[in-house]
Every structure is written in C-alpha cells, then in structure tokens.
Amino acid sequence: MSPNKAEPRPTPQTQPFWDGCAQGELRLQYCPSCAAYYFPPRAMCPRCWSTEVEWRRVSGRGVLHTYLINHRPAPGFEEDAPYAIAVVQLEEGPRMMSNIVGIENTPENLVLDMPLEVTFEPRGSVMLPLFRPAKGARQ
C-alpha cells in the first residue's frame, strides 16, 4: 500500500462510518420517519431534519452510476493510472464516490449500471471502501 495516497481523517460525526469499515461493514445513516438512508454522514436527516437517526449496516451492493478515467495520477496512484474515479449507486439509495478494483479500468470493462459489491482496503488508520464487480454477475 502506498503511504502517499490521501487518507481520510474521521470526525465524531463520521466515526461510526469508519468504525463499520474497520469491521468489514458498510454503514449508512437511516431516518425512520423518512424511511430513507442518507450520505454523507451528518447529525440530522437532510430531508426532514429529524435527529432521531440511526446507523445501519447496508448490503454493500450497488451499481456503477457514472465515472471517469483519470490519466493524471494523484500522489500514490502512479502504479494504478489510468484509473477510474467512480460514483456508485448503492442499493439503499445514496451514492458515494469510490474506485473500482478487481478489473482493468477501461471504458470497455466499465459499463454503466454494472453490479458492484463493496470491499475494503487499508488506507492509513482506516479501512477504505472500494468496489469490485459483483460475484456471479455477467462481465
């Protein structure tokens, strides 16, 4: 693992997300009154402003919503270039940025709406959620 890649630094409001990652779980906040998940983390539901929200483990499944392929590598990414910077549509509703691993990052391989599943890799003091083609999915 390159020591130079950018490392997230959790805050008290985001710590439960990173605690989940450390245990191999993707966790999102859920608002019972809206019956909806949201991301990124914050103390109140952005729809109804309820602070009665909870952290829940989610499936880790999603689809490739959109991406680009970066030909100008960031520090620590030199060996990976060109690499996709992607937005994953999670099964539970929210979207998050990520990288796609386990498949060469080419326009031919990366087809929008292809199924993905979360995986984690160490990055500094946290485990970073990444996505790979879902097992059993057509490639």
Partner 1 sequence: MSPTNGRAAVAIVGAAETTRLGVIPDVAEIELHADAVRNALSDCGLSVRDIDGIACTANPVALAHYLGITPTYLDGTSVGGCSFMLHVRHAAAALRSGLCQAVLVTHGQSGRSRVGVGGRGGDPSSLQGQFEAPYGPTGPPTLFPIGVLRYMKEFGLTHEQLASVAVVQRQWAARNPRAMMRDPITVDDVLSSRMIAYPIHLLECCLVTDGGGALVLTSAPRARDLPQPPVYILGTGESSETPMVSQMEDFTSSRAFRVSGAKAFAEAGITPADVDHLMIYDAFAHLPIYGLEDLGFVGRGEAGAFIEAGNTAPGGRLPLNTNGGGLSYTHTGMYGMFAIQESVRQLRGTAPAQVDGVEVSVAHGVGGMFAAAGTLVLSNREP
Can you point out the beta strands (E) in the chain?
Answer: 27-31, 36-38, 54-57, 61-70, 83-90, 95-98, 115-123, 126-133
Please state the closest distance from residue 52 (CB atom) to partner 1, in A: 13
Q: CA-to-CA distance for 106 and 12, rounded, in angstroms?
A: 37
Local structure of 18: helix, strand or coil: helix
Total of residues contacting partner 1 (CB under 8 A): 47
- 106: amino acid identity, one letter: T
Please check whether residue 56 is in contact with residue 27, taking contact to mean a CB–CB distance below 8 angstroms: yes
Considering only 19, 34, 76, 110, the residue that binds Zn ion (CB under 5 A) is: 34
The answer to whether 46 contacts partner 1 (rule: CB under 8 A) is yes
Q: Closer to Zn ion at the Cβ: 34 or 134?
A: 34
The answer to whether 47 contacts partner 1 (rule: CB under 8 A) is yes
31 binds, among Zn ion, partner 1, none (CB under 5 to 8 A by kind): Zn ion
The answer to whether 102 contacts partner 1 (rule: CB under 8 A) is no
- 99: amino acid identity, one letter: N
The answer to whether 81 contacts Zn ion (rule: CB under 5 A) is no
Considering only 96, 116, 118, 127, the residue that binds partner 1 (CB under 8 A) is: 96
